């Protein structure tokens, strides 16, 4: 199958609540190799976690997050992508519910990380990092439970997170990433700055 990057932002969000549409949507996803799921489309899958098909072709998965939307579909989705290689998360912050399951550490539970342990992903990229403690906790959770993770790239939010403007907090975040690198030597852990932000900091004399 040709590796085609699929953007579902405009194609499906208008019909998210229709039962017949959900079936077609799942069937469509099952045929894809590369998929970018925008927030509204991710909610489609949250309505059918119990009937989630196996996405045998899916190797690249991108997901956008919003603080007002939950990750209810995440555990079932990760467990049903047996050939997944790369995940890109555009933001980690989301609405915390008990249905996020074991995909995140929002709510303490037994069997934590079960869906992550079943996922073969080897590369994870997190975009829009704001350097909050909640994000740091989630990053550690991913490192703990993705068994085959070889590369983790964390890209700082372009709008300059307030936390990283504070020299002490910025130093603490860097030390945490250095610690992650030592604790998980089989995984390359990188804290990255976009070209836009790097040029901005250079113009301001920060680098």
Residue pair 122/149 in contact (Cβ under 8 Å)? The answer is: yes
**CATH code for the domain in which residue 97 is found:** 3.80.10
Number of domains in the chain: 1
Give 70-112 as a DSSP string. B-TTHHHHHHT-TT--EEEEE----B--GGGTTSSSSS--TTT
Of the candidates 24, 40, 45, 34, the one whose C-alpha atom is nearest the C-alpha of residue 3 is: 34
Distance CA 181, CA 190 (A): 8
Phi, psi of 24 (to 5 degrees): -65, -35
Residues 6+ apart with CB under 8 A from 102: 75, 109, 111, 112, 113, 114, 115, 116, 145
Residue 119: per-residue pLDDT: 94
DSSP β-bridge partners for residue 70: 95
Q: Which domain holds residue 139?
A: 5-203
Query: Is the pLDDT assigned to residue 8 strictly greater than 50?
Result: no
Query: Is the pLDDT assigned to residue 183 strictly greater than 60?
Result: yes
Distance CA 128, CA 72 (A): 21
**143: part of which helix (H) or strand (E)?**
helix 133-145
Q: What is the pLDDT of residues 55-70, one digit of tens each?
A: 899 999 998 877 666 6
Give the chain's mean pLDDT.
Answer: 77
Residue 205: per-residue pLDDT: 61
Q: What is the pLDDT of residues 120-156, one digit of tens each?
A: 999 999 998 988 888 998 899 999 999 999 999 999 8
Q: What is the pLDDT of residues 25-48, one digit of tens each?
A: 667 777 778 888 776 677 677 777
């Amino acid at each position: 199958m040709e590796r085609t990057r699929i953007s579902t932002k405009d194609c499906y969000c208008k019909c998210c609540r229709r039962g017949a549409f959900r079936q077609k949507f799942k069937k469509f996803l099952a045929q894809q190799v590369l998929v970018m799921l925008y927030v509204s489309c991710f909610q489609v899958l949250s309505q059918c976690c119990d009937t989630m098909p196996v996405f045998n072709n899916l190797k690249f998965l991108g997901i956008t997050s919003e603080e007002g939307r939950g990750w209810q579909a995440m555990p079932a989705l990760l467990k049903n992508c047996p050939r997944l290689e790369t995940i890109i998360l555009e933001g980690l912050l989301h609405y915390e519910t008990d249905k996020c399951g074991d995909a995140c550490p929002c709510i303490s539970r037994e069997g934590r990380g079960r869906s992550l342990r079943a996922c073969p992903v080897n590369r994870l990229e997190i975009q829009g990092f704001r350097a909050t403690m909640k994000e740091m906790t989630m990053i550690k959770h991913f490192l703990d439970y993705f068994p085959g993770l070889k590369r983790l790239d964390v890209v700082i939010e372009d709008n300059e997170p307030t936390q990283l403007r504070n020299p002490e907090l910025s130093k603490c975040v860097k030390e945490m990433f250095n610690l992650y690198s030592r604790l998980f030597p089989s995984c390359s852990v990188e804290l990255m700055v976009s070209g836009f932000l790097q040029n901005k900091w250079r113009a301001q004399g920060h680098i």
